[in-house]
């Protein structure tokens, strides 16, 4: 049975790319930043799920599910994410695409 989600649910997607030759560096920075990001993000109201994936082919994605657009928008103001982690990732030449919030259309 599909999970019951609020009608206002939003999926927030942040994508980045990097030279695949720097995978080990990017992976190490990701693990380091998770130490302070997990507690900071976990404190935010409205978070339903959060996932991070890194491909050795040179891309990283952060996908989070929020109960509303307003709650998803908190991520843009979260210093640990918007300043600290972003700065650490940019220091290993990760470049980010614009972040998009998607209202849920359907789910399984």
Per residue in 13-69, pLDDT tens? 999 999 999 999 999 999 999 999 999 999 999 999 999 999 999 999 999 999 999
Whether 8 maps to a domain, the answer reads no
Confidence of residue 3 (pLDDT cuts 50, 70, 90): confident
Task: State how many domains the chain has.
Answer: 1
80: domain range?
A: 17-103
Whether 2 maps to a domain, the answer reads no
* Contact residues for 52 (Cβ-Cβ < 8 A; gap 6+): 30, 34, 60, 61, 62, 63
Whether 83 maps to a domain, the answer reads yes
Backbone angles phi, psi at 52, to 5 degrees: -130, 135
DSSP strand E in 42-91: where? 47-55, 59-66
pTM for the full predicted model: 0.91
Whether 29 maps to a domain, the answer reads yes
Whether 86 maps to a domain, the answer reads yes
Confidence of residue 1 (pLDDT cuts 50, 70, 90): low
How far is residue 105's CA from residue 94's CA, in Å, rounded to a whole number? Answer: 30
Backbone angles phi, psi at 98, to 5 degrees: -60, 140
Whether 42 maps to a domain, the answer reads yes
The domain that contains 46 carries what CATH number? 3.30.70.100
Whether 96 maps to a domain, the answer reads yes
């Amino acid at each position: 049975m599909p999970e019951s989600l609020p009608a206002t649910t939003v999926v927030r997607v942040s994508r980045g790319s990097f030279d695949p030759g720097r995978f080990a560096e990017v992976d190490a920075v990701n693990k380091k930043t998770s130490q302070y990001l997990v507690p900071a993000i976990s404190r935010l109201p409205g978070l339903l799920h959060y996932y991070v994936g890194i491909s050795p082919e040179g891309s990283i994605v952060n996908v989070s599910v929020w109960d509303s657009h307003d709650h998803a928008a908190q991520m843009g103001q979260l210093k640990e994410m918007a300043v600290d982690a972003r700065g650490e990732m940019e220091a290993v030449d990760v470049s980010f695409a614009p972040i998009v919030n998607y209202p849920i259309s359907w789910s399984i």
